[in-house]
Structure 1
Amino acid sequence: GDTLLSLWDRLQTAPWYIASPFAFILLVFSSASAVILWKLLGPAKKSVAKKVLLDEASLQQRIKDADESGIEINAAREELRKLYQRRKTGKLYIALTGAISTGKSSLVNSLLPDAEAHSEVSGGTTRKIIEYHWLTPSADEVILIDMPGLLDAANDELSHIARSEAIRAHLVIYLCDSDLTRQQLHELKLLAELKKPLILALNKSDWYSDEERQQIRQRLREHTADISDITIVTIRTQTEKQVTIELPDGTETSELRCTEPDIRELARALQHRIDSDPERLEKLRDSAIFSLASGCLDEAELKQRVEKGQVLVRNHTRSAVVGAMAAVSPGTDILIQGALGISLIKNLCSLYDIPVSQLEIDRLLKLGQSRLNRHIALIMAVLGNALKAFPGLGTLAGGALHAVTYGMIFDALGRSLNEILASRGELATLPVINRFTENLGDQLEKRSSDIIRLVLESRDKQEK
């Protein structure tokens, strides 16, 4: 340190042609050191599989491989079944969505006055997704799917169903009645991410003057400028309007009158989409459904990994308990130095295909030990209390306490690591340690009974 400072002082008084090269070398050296330190001490790299554009053959192969690995494949197969069924009918599927009170029902009545409605039912409850069967003037068979918004805060399941229906559709009509809210814009961008051709329909145009309509359309264009495949139209569905009427005697009265719908611009946009490139609509729809089916496999694979991770944690916890009961004197250094701690981390990371170095393992264990030191006295006190509810431990109570403590440590660490790897797809050290601390605190009493039973089972096996 003194040598570097001395060198820096000398460089400041040296001629520029001598100082500049040395300064450059020092800059490169310090930058390289910072990069090396970041690589060593920074978070582990996330294991990200390269995005592969799925086709039907590769998806079928992935389903086959998943089935052979014991992964649940029914959801993915169901998506393909629906796709084949829709292909066979040759009908065009259009999803209609938008915020509440934007006039979806009125639009359906205006667009399809004689359409046949069919409400799908799942699990004994109405899914609130209605299909309307329609034959266009140009003899195209259309299924219009009236569905809720993708961000229905009141019903997450319904939002998931709506998203899936949007993916299965050839194109989506999104209805609004003014400038877009933040949530509406977010929904539109979610649909764009699904590679859906979009028609944004501004309804209730009779509410606005010509100038106001132009201003709103301009703002809609600005908000959706980064969405490439979108058409903006203006419509007026049938609505009731309060009208003031002057009577012959000079008095005034008011009455509700229905305004005639005007959906010509939307009808033209739809027909243009249907006629311009029907093969492209088919390919986009198929590709989206392949991604949806692949997502079903991803979820099933993650679920399987989580379950396998729970088994790994249970086995390592059991081994920690057995090791603690065999030890002459207790010590929490097994978390840092023991082969079990290292094995637990390596096996869980391997399960999620996440590379991990010994340095990263040591860092995780060291931080875990630091947090543990602050809570170990409280943990042992709570566990000692919990042991009183299990008679028959006798003279082994002291050893049992240490075994339960070890078991709690491994159980909390393993569950924390399993949760973070599953949710983040990377070894994020601080989130793991934070979750570890939470599990030791919030779950201490809840999990202690399970760990004590594990200790009793292990003791009984040893005695046999």
Structure 2
Amino acid sequence: MTSLATVVARWRWLVLAVVLLVVATVLLLAGNQLLALKARLADEPLAVRAVVIAVGLAVLAAAGWGVWRTLRMPARPARDEVVPDEAGLRARAATWAEAGADVAAVRTELDELDRRREAGSVHVAVFGTVSSGKSALIRALAPGAAADSDVLGGTTRDVVHYEWQDVRGDRLVLTDMPGLSDPAAGLDRTATDEAGRADVVVFVAEGDLTREEWRALDAVRALDKPLVVALNKADRYEPSDREAIRARLGERFGASTEIVPVIAGGTETVIIRDSDGHEREEERERLPDVRRLRRVLQRVVDRDGLSAGRDRAVLLLAARKLEGAVQAHRRDAAEALVSRYARRAVVGAMAAVAPGSDLVIQ
């Protein structure tokens, strides 16, 4: 369940618009009353007028403070969901399956959790917006991986896994996911769910984050698992600008979030000056640099309790899907009940206009 503070923070501009609309409406409706009050106060002692003015200023100050708080309230990830007991969740899913609910998605999540536990590998979800360089980063981390990337954006349409073994022999599975804000329906949900199943999340950004990226990062942080922000195309920024971006991210997320400049590779446009002084543009391959990211991932993988965060996130994901399946089952049952009684009502109404209808209705 999302807290009130999180809802207000996420929709604070809409809340502000509603508040301003309500205030404007109240002011318009109270206009005549204010004029009448002014006329009455003209004959009152100075002390009475001072008290009324003070109360009015206090109300205005309180309203202004409320608007300021709405604008300044930081977006905090929701952490008020209770992680369900795994055995109880599996039993509840079985019970609702017997009742006719479609719990296939829940069983898929639990089966995948079992499979990853048995494999003993570490899943690293590469997360980010369209064309941020996710696929190129995977190719740089795991040379030979055939993940497609396209400058037009949105090439990655499915969740694709690539294996990578680090220098210590740990087996990592890099997950290339659909980009956020892709026009294709449902991709954001797919990417978010896969991030929940992962042990570590790498969020790829090209620089200072957009509003959509901030929102996506808040959602990932709510999963309560290791998060690494990879600032791609870091060579395009001056060192001072790069540090300013890292400082802003650090203020927002604290020391628990690793912020790593990277160069995922790809191509770049350079200006070539010929011997005769003419200039021309030329596309060149950009050499990747992910050495620091490799070291950070190695350090994260070596932490104790890494799989516990994954298990919690998957159980929460499965519980939400079970709740959705239960609600859908109840809704379908209610609609079927209404439809059945509606048909009976129609038959009764038609019989009521025919001879002997009282016997039919009975």
Partner of residue 412, structure 1: none
Amino acid at match of 1:273: V
Deviation at 1:224, TM superposition (A): 3.3
Partner of residue 61, structure 2: none
CA–CA distance in structure 1, aligned partners of residues 203 and 161 of structure 2: 16
- Kindly provide the CA deviation profile for residues 231-254 of structure 1, in whole angstroms up to 9, marking residues without a partner as x: 111111224333445556666665
Deviation at 1:167, TM superposition (A): 1.3
- Kindly provide the CA deviation profile for residues 296-323 of structure 1, in whole angstroms up to 9, marking residues without a partner as x: 2111110111122223434554676689
Please, which of 162, 165, 172 is the counterpart of residue 135 of structure 1?
A: 165
CA–CA distance in structure 1, aligned partners of residues 227 and 184 of structure 2: 24
Partner of residue 196, structure 2: 167
Match status 1:396 vs 2:353:
yes
Q: Secondary structure of the residue that 1:115 maps to in structure 2?
A: coil
Give the length in aligned residue pairs. Answer: 276
Match status 1:263 vs 2:290:
yes
Identity of aligned residues (%): 38
Q: Secondary structure of the residue that 2:159 maps to in structure 1?
A: strand
Contact preservation (8 Å) 2:135, 2:147: no
Unaligned runs of 5+ residues in structure 2 are 1-79, 149-155
CA–CA distance in structure 1, aligned partners of residues 359 and 224 of structure 2: 59
Amino acid at match of 1:115: A
Partner of residue 122, structure 2: 92
Contact preservation (8 Å) 2:162, 2:173: yes
Please, which of 259, 276, 280 is the counterpart of residue 303 of structure 2?
A: 276
Deviation at 1:136, TM superposition (A): 1.4
Q: Secondary structure of the residue that 1:128 maps to in structure 2?
A: coil
Partner of residue 292, structure 1: 317
In 2 relative to 1, CA 394–65 (structure 1 residues): closer, same or farther, beyond 3 Å? closer
Contact preservation (8 Å) 1:117, 1:131: no
Match status 1:215 vs 2:244:
yes
In 2 relative to 1, CA 205–463 (structure 1 residues): closer, same or farther, beyond 3 Å? closer
Partner of residue 335, structure 2: 310
Match status 1:241 vs 2:268:
yes
- Kindly provide the CA deviation profile for residues 293-351 of structure 1, in whole angstroms up to 9, marking residues without a partner as x: 2122111110111122223434554676689x6xxxxxxxxxxxxxxxxxxxxxxxxxx
CA–CA distance in structure 2, aligned partners of residues 259 and 116 of structure 1: 18
Amino acid at match of 2:234: S
CA–CA distance in structure 2, aligned partners of residues 76 and 148 of structure 1: 22
Partner of residue 112, structure 1: 142
Amino acid at match of 2:360: Q
Which structure would you say has the larger Rg? 1
Unaligned runs of 5+ residues in structure 1 are 1-49, 119-125, 326-392, 398-458
Q: Secondary structure of the residue that 1:276 maps to in structure 2?
A: coil
**Bigger mean CA deviation after superposition, 71-80 or 244-253:** 244-253
Q: Secondary structure of the residue that 1:159 maps to in structure 2?
A: helix
Partner of residue 231, structure 1: 258
Contact preservation (8 Å) 2:123, 2:175: yes
Partner of residue 182, structure 1: 211
Please list, as runs of the form range in 1=range in 2, the aligned pairs for 1:7-22 lying within 5 A after superposition. Answer: none
TM, length-normalised to structure 1: 0.53
Partner of residue 62, structure 1: 92
CA–CA distance in structure 2, aligned partners of residues 141 and 116 of structure 1: 18
Deviation at 1:292, TM superposition (A): 1.6
Q: Secondary structure of the residue that 1:54 maps to in structure 2?
A: coil
Partner of residue 455, structure 1: none
In 2 relative to 1, CA 322–236 (structure 1 residues): closer, same or farther, beyond 3 Å? same
Deviation at 1:185, TM superposition (A): 0.6
Deviation at 1:210, TM superposition (A): 0.9
CA–CA distance in structure 1, aligned partners of residues 115 and 83 of structure 2: 23
Partner of residue 72, structure 1: 102
Partner of residue 122, structure 1: none
CA–CA distance in structure 2, aligned partners of residues 54 and 64 of structure 1: 15
- Kindly provide the CA deviation profile for residues 244-293 of structure 1, in whole angstroms up to 9, marking residues without a partner as x: 4555666666544333221122111111100122xx22111111111122
Partner of residue 416, structure 1: none
Contact preservation (8 Å) 2:139, 2:147: no
Amino acid at match of 1:183: E
Partner of residue 51, structure 2: none
Contact preservation (8 Å) 2:199, 2:307: yes
Contact preservation (8 Å) 1:117, 1:133: no
Contact preservation (8 Å) 1:150, 1:159: yes
Amino acid at match of 1:101: S
Q: Where is the helix percentage greater, Structure 1 or Structure 2?
A: 1
CA–CA distance in structure 1, aligned partners of residues 352 and 312 of structure 2: 67
In 2 relative to 1, CA 307–244 (structure 1 residues): closer, same or farther, beyond 3 Å? closer
Q: Secondary structure of the residue that 2:158 maps to in structure 1?
A: strand
In 2 relative to 1, CA 180–320 (structure 1 residues): closer, same or farther, beyond 3 Å? same
TM, length-normalised to structure 2: 0.67
CA–CA distance in structure 2, aligned partners of residues 51 and 221 of structure 1: 26
Contact preservation (8 Å) 2:93, 2:103: yes
Contact preservation (8 Å) 1:94, 1:142: yes
Deviation at 1:139, TM superposition (A): 1.2
CA–CA distance in structure 1, aligned partners of residues 284 and 336 of structure 2: 68
Q: Secondary structure of the residue that 1:66 maps to in structure 2?
A: helix
Partner of residue 157, structure 1: 186
- Kindly provide the CA deviation profile for residues 115-144 of structure 1, in whole angstroms up to 9, marking residues without a partner as x: 3669xxxxxxx9522211111122111111
Contact preservation (8 Å) 1:151, 1:187: no
Contact preservation (8 Å) 2:196, 2:313: yes
